[in-house]
Amino acid sequence: MRRIGLTLGSAVLALGLAAGGAAAQQPQVTRHVLANGMTVLVRENPAVPAVAVSLQVRAGSRFETETTAGITNFLHRAMLRGTAKRTAEQFATSYEDIGGTLDAGGEVEAAEVRGQTLARNWETLLALIAEAALEPALEQEEIERERRLLLGQIKSRADAPFSFTFDAMLRDLYGPSSLRAALPRPQGEHREADA
């Protein structure tokens, strides 16, 4: 396989393989650190003939500024809209053909590309996740589609009474950039006001 770790730096790959058959036991997690620094976590469960793969990198809303807020989630979702090898439709068909799912997004401290399929298709799924992470096409037309989709979701959220109340409560508690202000900063990071 290709050099995933070199491009993704501090990535964590959680790979749960299952072979099917035996009675369920408490699964053990094994940890491997590859020569390139990438950490691989594996938890086998022989009772379930499925595999779930999660490729995570250190990124997310904690590391975003007011002007870049939301960029991690947006970028990771746009990564699934085609690669250098396949159009968005071809890429979606490739994981659907193996009975799998593929999704991506950004959270507070991590950005993730994740997928699931039957255990016998784990190598294909892993290759598709690597393709999305290392060779996204990021074509303007697909980026614009994703932008319109997210704007629609934001509008729907703003129109929902519970979301509006919850967001207002967070603003009252933490101010306008609640997450950024509430979390401790990564080592070496400082805000302009600290300088």
Q: Is the model more confident about 170 or about 24?
A: 170
**Distance, CA of 32 to CA of 41 (rounded, Å):** 6
**pLDDT tens-digit map of 72-89:** 888 988 999 999 999 999
Q: Would you state the structure tokens that stand for residue 121, as one six-digit string?
A: 């298709």
pLDDT score of 163: 66
Average pLDDT over residues 22-41: 79
Highest mean pLDDT among 105-109, 113-117, 181-185: 113-117
pLDDT score of 114: 94
**pLDDT tens-digit map of 46-60:** 888 999 999 999 988
**Distance, CA of 29 to CA of 12 (rounded, Å):** 14
* Architecture of domain 1-138 in this structure: 2-Layer Sandwich (3.30)
164 — pLDDT class (breaks 50, 70, 90): low
3-state class of 171 per DSSP?
Answer: helix
Domain boundaries, the chain: 1-138, 139-182
pLDDT score of 3: 42
Residues 3 and 15: beta-carbon distance below 8 Å: no
**pLDDT tens-digit map of 95-110:** 999 999 999 988 888 9
Residue 132 exposed, middle or buried by CB count within 10 Å (0-12, 13-18, 19+):
buried
End-to-end CA distance of the chain: give it in Å, rounded. Answer: 44
Q: Which of 26-40, 82-96, 179-193 has the lowest average pLDDT?
A: 179-193
